[in-house]
Amino acid sequence: MSKPLEGIKIIDFTHVQAGPACTQMLAWFGADVIKVERPGSGDVTRSQLRDIKDADALYFTMLNSNKRSITLDTKTAQGKEVLTKLIKEADVLVENFGPGALDRMGFSWAHINELNPGMIVASVKGFSDGHHYEDLKVYENVAQCAGGAASTTGWWDGPPTVSAAALGDSNTGMHLAIGILTAIIGRQKTGKGQKVAVSMQDAVLNLCRVKMRDQQRLDRVGYLEEYPQYPHGEFTDVVPRGGNAGGGGQPGWVLKCKGWETDPNAYIYFTIQGHAWAPICKALGKEEWINDPAYNTAEARQDKIFDIFAFIEDWLKDKTKYEAVDILRKFDIPCAPVLSMKELAECPSLRKSGSIVEVEHKQRGTYLTVGSPIKFSDLKVEITGSPLLGEHTDEILAQLGYTPEQIAEMHAAKAV
Ligand code: COA
């Protein structure tokens, strides 16, 4: 089966997570992704948080599948020459170096554009161009703090809290992938490449859109009715942390199930959808609440929402999270068990859909990775193991027209 991005050649000058997550996804969809790494060490994640001595760490293997790897010291004359050749024949260059690194290497946007006017240069930085923090280097949690996620996550009486989800890293990579595909379609119309940039702060902020909604509501009316602070607590002039409250019009909360005393994940998320009030009452055996004016509208329930959650927790105390969801699903109530990473890794449905995949790796044997969350009717995403450091150096150099003697010379000079 031919893949939609087959024929697109990508120079993958990325490292750590944000850039690699983007290029990995494009590789899954058929692009020829050539990962350019520093000779000897490569992407720092190859050796970070290792679980097997001397083997590429999972941090690397789970973000670099389906790619080829070439080692290249792009600060040497030979390395620059190879990169120049690659630029002339590639479609996209993706990078997430610290600010200014590509320019210092001698590959400014203007120079790349001159070498290949069709080239799309896609970058991740911590902050956008011209931002007063544009010179800062940024990692995941820094971005979560700068993008509004940390100030709005956690408990109202605790400190700002970061999410386990990679809102700064992988999320920025996904935004960049959308930008690259858009620029590729744009180039089909104009023949011209362009610069595509996503800042981690902006990508986090984009996912915190509803919190910006809340800031404006708060400015106007002074309270936010879906937050636990309403109606009994106090609001200041900034969006507070809302614990596990639902962010939309439906109140929800994480509720304890049987076994919570010993199992840290024996919980479900329960949502009180307005129009599902009658089914909820039926599921809980509390039919007298259905038409009781003290309960039968969202407004009436507001000041006793935590009493209602306490009642549901009492109902849940002799049910496991799975038993509870099996009952509640029959009543069409939006809910789910809180799942651990172990449960997700072992989930038969995720294995069947390709969302959790077992992959072969030359050093590691098999390992689990998270597969494509995007499913297509005409594309089966096949995940292959990540490349070893420089595994494809000679192959790529030969494809660029270098002779075996020239390649040997580059190895001897440690340019590759
Ligand atoms: N050959 C020669 N030099 C290379 C090279 C190669 N193949 N690959 C990288 N380098 C050089 C760079 O040119 C840079 O040189 P210079 O700063 O001396 O000019 C140097 O390696 C360091 O690169 P840098 O990206 O600044 O690494 P770092 O480890 O200091 O910083 C980050 C790491 C992630 C903080 C930084 O890259 C960053 O802020 N990136 C943008 C935001 C981002 O993506 N954050 C991480 C998301 S997971």
Q: Which tens digit of pLDDT belongs to each residue from 83-130?
A: 999 999 999 999 999 999 999 999 999 999 999 999 999 999 999 999
Cα 185 to averaged position of ligand 1 atoms, centre (Å): 29
Residues 92 and 31: their CA atoms lie apart, in Å, by: 10
Q: What DSSP letter does each residue of 364-375 carry, written as one string?
A: TEEEEEE--S--
Q: What is the pTM of this model?
A: 0.97
Q: Does residue 169 carry a catalytic annotation? A: yes
Q: 35-87, pLDDT tens digit by residue? A: 999 999 999 999 999 999 999 999 999 999 999 999 999 999 999 999 999 99
pLDDT of 2: 87
Cα 44 to averaged position of ligand 1 atoms, centre (Å): 10
Which contiguous run of DSSP H or E holds residue 12?
strand 9-13
pLDDT of 246: 87
Q: Which atom of ligand 1 is nearest the CA belonging to 17?
A: 48
Q: Which residues form ligand 1's pocket by a CB distance below 6 Å?
A: 16-19, 36-38, 72-75, 96-98, 101, 104-105, 124-126, 137-139, 169, 200
pLDDT of 85: 98
pLDDT over 90 at 266, yes or no: yes
Determine contact, residues 263/280, Cβ cutoff 8 Å.
Answer: no
pLDDT of 1: 63
Per annotation, catalytic residue among 32, 56, 169, 202: 169
How many degrees, rounded to 5, is the angle at CA 354 between CA 350 and CA 358? Answer: 95
For the chain, the residue count is 416
Residues 96 and 193: their CA atoms lie apart, in Å, by: 19
Which of 137, 140, 172 is the pocket-test mutation for ligand 1 (most atoms within 8 Å of CB)?
Answer: 137
Cβ-defined contacts of 369-376 (< 8 Å, 24+): 369/61, 369/62, 369/65, 370/62, 372/25, 372/28, 374/25
Q: Please give the C-alpha separations between residue 157 and each of 143, 234, 251, 389, in angstroms, as whole numbers.
A: 22, 12, 20, 47
